[in-house]
Structure 1
Amino acid sequence: MPKLYVPKQYSTVVMGVSGCGKSSLGAALALAAGLPLIEGDDFHSAENVSKMRAGIALTDADRAGWLATLGAELARRPEGAVLTCSALKRDYRERLRAAAPGLRFVFLALTPAEAERRVAARAGAHMFPASLVANQFATLESPVGEPGVLAVDATAPLPELVAQVRAWWAGP
């Protein structure tokens, strides 16, 4: 697959609830575009990871430092980047947009039942338990209708998702 140059204004956050496929799509997009991948989960504090492993939902206060760090990571990459981050609330997305003007979001839309099935299937291999999926849906403020957002079906095959995002990047 040829590399696709994506200028800074096209730095992209792959977002959605746990289990939607952020890491898989983010890695594929970063590779396709020749951009660095920022895996959002790698930047959670030890306290946040402990809470999630214990089945305790994160609060806005828990996420504040994490979002600031992710914003700084985006700002450090003027060549652009692909970030995986749940970005569940509009306020969270606005914080990231402030750090990287022109930032785009790919929203991986998924049903609660499918998200729970996927998260349960990876039990033990990931810090996030299926018991927290309902909380993510309760917290989610859909980004559909916000500027710079592409919503895609998270159940589509990965190559199809990559093609959809690449076409969006290349569009007007």
Structure 2
Amino acid sequence: MDKPEGRRHCVIVMGPSGVGKTTVARGLSERLGWSFAEADEFHSKANIDKMTAGVPLTDEDRAPWLLAIRDWISAEAAQGRCSVATCSALKRRYRDVLRGADARVRFLELVADPELVAGRLARRKGHYMPPSLLGSQFAALEPLEPDEDGVEVSVASAPDEVVRQALAGLGLADRPATRRGAL
């Protein structure tokens, strides 16, 4: 999907673990017809083991992970594809790395009350991120700043509504329903 300025786009769905990044990103990908990546799949085994043990990642741990996501965005753009990816992107310097991709990287910050997210994490099964690390994620979160290309959307609504609000906030139109099916 070409944009007027000729660059491919990537929307990074960001926020702490449990806010619904994967659900919303998959919804955006489906609605836009863009490729999708789950940032958790870019983590090294060492990072996964560390988080599984309840140890927060350091900036040094995250550096290769962020570069891998950035490189995936660039590869998608080089293939002529726009993309949607999940990534906690909690700090501005992390987002700066992602903005280094060869694409217009925009951010969708999913905003939620910590108690809502804690409840979601308590019910989540099969994920290596333990609820005990949630506090460190909210503590590290640096919300989008006015000069960053992106929007905030509350996750208090149903996922379809969050996706609708995200599309509107980002000024993106989804594909006609006849081509995409139901979300």
TM-score normalised by the chain length of structure 1: 0.91
Structure 2 unmatched runs, 5+: 174-183
Q: Which residue of 2 aligns with 1:31?
A: 30
Name the count of aligned residue pairs.
166
Q: Which residue of 2 aligns with 1:157?
A: 158
Deviates more, 1:20-29 or 1:94-103: 94-103
Give the secondary structure class of the aligned counterpart of 1:82.
Answer: strand
**Deviation (angstroms), 1:9:** 4.5
Counterpart AA for 1:114: L
Structure 1 unmatched runs, 5+: none
Give the secondary structure class of the aligned counterpart of 2:144.
Answer: coil
CA RMSD of aligned residues (A): 1.5
TM-score normalised by the chain length of structure 2: 0.85
1:87-102 counterparts in 2 under 5 A? 87-102=89-104
For 2:33 and 2:73, the matched residues in 1 are separated by 15
**Deviation (angstroms), 1:100:** 3.6
Runs in 1 of length 4+ with deviation above 6 angstroms?
none
**Deviation (angstroms), 1:148:** 1.3
For 1:47 and 1:31, the matched residues in 2 are separated by 32
Q: Which residue of 1 aligns with 2:49?
A: 50
Give the secondary structure class of the aligned counterpart of 1:170.
Answer: coil
For 2:131 and 2:172, the matched residues in 1 are separated by 36
**Deviation (angstroms), 1:101:** 4.2
Q: Does 1:146 align with 2:153?
A: no
Q: Does 1:127 align with 2:128?
A: yes
Contact kept, 8 Å, 1:20 with 1:115, in 2: the verdict is yes
For 1:116 and 1:90, the matched residues in 2 are separated by 24
For 1:24 and 1:111, the matched residues in 2 are separated by 17
For 2:147 and 2:18, the matched residues in 1 are separated by 23
